Amino acid sequence: MIRFRTWPVIFILVSSLAMTFMASPAKAMSLAEMKGLVDGETDQRIETLNKVVAQGDENTLVFLQALADDAVKVAGDKIWIVRDSFGAGKALDPLTGQKQDLPADAQDVVSNNRFRGEIETALAALKLFSADTAMRQQAIKALLKEPDASKLPMLNKALAQEQDASLKNLLQLAKAAAQLGDTDAAVRLTSAQRLAESQTPDTQLLLNQRLAEETDAQVKAQLRKSLTAIEGALKNGERLGALFTGASLGSILLLVALGLAITYGLMGVINMAHGELMMIGAYATYVVQVLFRQYLPGYFDAYLLLAVPLSFLASALVGAFLERTVLRHLYGRPLESLLATWGISLILMQAVRSLFGAQNVGVENPAWMSGGIQVLSNLTLPYNRLVIIAFAAAVLLAMSLVIGKTRLGLFVRGVTQNRPMASCMGVNTARIDTYAFALGSGIAGLAGCALSQVGNVGPDLGQNYIVDAFMVVVLGGVGQLAGTVYAALGLGLVNKLLEGVTGAVLAKICVLVFIIIFIQKRPQGIFAMKGRSAEA
């Protein structure tokens, strides 16, 4: 429920309601009715509330909004609306519309949670006549979620005036929900039939509650039929949601594993600091965000355009430095390189803790990545996840072109397959090692940039993905980009589908057992390395 807290917005609503009711003027709310809303037992206040809402007066909206905002005070026989915009010590008389000095003995109006809920529902009913289509849609959905037979006159009036076909259908569903408890069994039957179209968890709960109270056999049968239809639709939404979540996780694993496909798959370096290179990319994104918010707030939504190349560059430079200073002395010594990179990962984590603190930092999505696409009532595809899937595909395409179509890619493949022969052909293998390792590290930075858009950034960010990334590379086939793609998407989908059945922990165990068995049967992975090696 949207709550309006600024006076200008309320006046806009009042104006639109005034035009709506111009053809049939409504009786203004009296002082007695206002007193009935601010004083007395809750049942009596609710009865008065239903009465004034049925009148549909524009002043009613203003007064009820003030009640919802705790902006109503009482002094003797007078009732006042108090807003900060009126100035210190000033209040509005809702009967005359005049601003006056607020009496010193004015007291706040106290409303319990039950009455607050009724006010929210009443406000939703009044907003059915707003000129704003989105506001009317939200009002209808609110009434559909919490149906009330006392709002039927308002729903009928809104149905008579509504021109939008989709909103008219929603109004019919809201009306059916309000009539589900009607004394006439025929009306209840029609309502149960119509509500099968509203395939939401709220409607499912409403029908289940009605089923427990229903006495008519025919209506009971229809309620069960409608519930079956809704349950089927909700299960389909859950399955599609699991598939999308699996594809999203797979795209993230793909981004993480692409860098390892070079550093481990092509170069044979077991880089335990790969996760920390991702972390550097994520923190680079955070720094860019902070700089944009401080110095270029008007262009904040464009900060990712700069964060993407900078995250790649930051991680690539760190990777090149590590290769030049440490790793080039450890080629062909897997145990020493593993221990060295593990120590480097600890150093990088501690360096980040010293610079940014041990606590996680938040990276905000740009406005164009906020929200999502509503596909089904229980399935929303977030924009940030969709963008990450597209980003992973773009990075994969770019990396495939670099490895398969460029001079650097040719040298990397040549050095990978036969280092002595490549050296004899004039290839500077030491320089190619640095370039390749920097490329893999830069892609890890891009993975960190993407991960910053779906969660918090912290010193331990990389530790959550490094094991999965190695499993993806080994399962796909060492040095095979196509295998990395299949393995990443496959593991993401399988993991999320198993989570719905076994839970998160058992799903991880099942995936690990499957990979161990698979590697035992096919050590080369999904795709074997093509070509001749130096040992052949």
**pLDDT for residue 28:** 65
**pLDDT for residue 22:** 35
Domain boundaries, the chain: 7-193, 201-236, 237-521
**pLDDT for residue 317:** 95
**pLDDT for residue 479:** 59
User: Between 1.10.260, 2.40.10, 1.10.3860, 1.10.3470, what CATH number should domain 237-521 receive?
Assistant: 1.10.3470
Beta strand 379-382 with 107-108 is unpaired
| Other beta carbons less than 10 A from residue 452's beta carbon | 28
* Cα–Cα distance measured from residue 46 to residue 39, given in angstroms and rounded to the nearest whole number: 11
**pLDDT for residue 399:** 87
**pLDDT for residue 238:** 86
**pLDDT for residue 393:** 92
Which residues in the chain show pLDDT less than 50?
1-26, 531-536
DSSP state of 57: -
In the block, residue with structure tokens 């990396």: 399
Between the CA of residue 147 and those of 182, 228, 332, 406, 513, what are the distances in Å? Answer: 12, 21, 71, 64, 50
**pLDDT for residue 478:** 61
* Cα–Cα distance measured from residue 393 to residue 532, given in angstroms and rounded to the nearest whole number: 30
382-422 pLDDT, tens per residue?
999 999 999 999 999 998 898 888 888 888 878 777 778 88
80 bridge partner residues: 73
**pLDDT for residue 514:** 81
* Cα–Cα distance measured from residue 265 to residue 473, given in angstroms and rounded to the nearest whole number: 7
Cα dihedral value 15, 19, 25, 29, nearest 10: -20
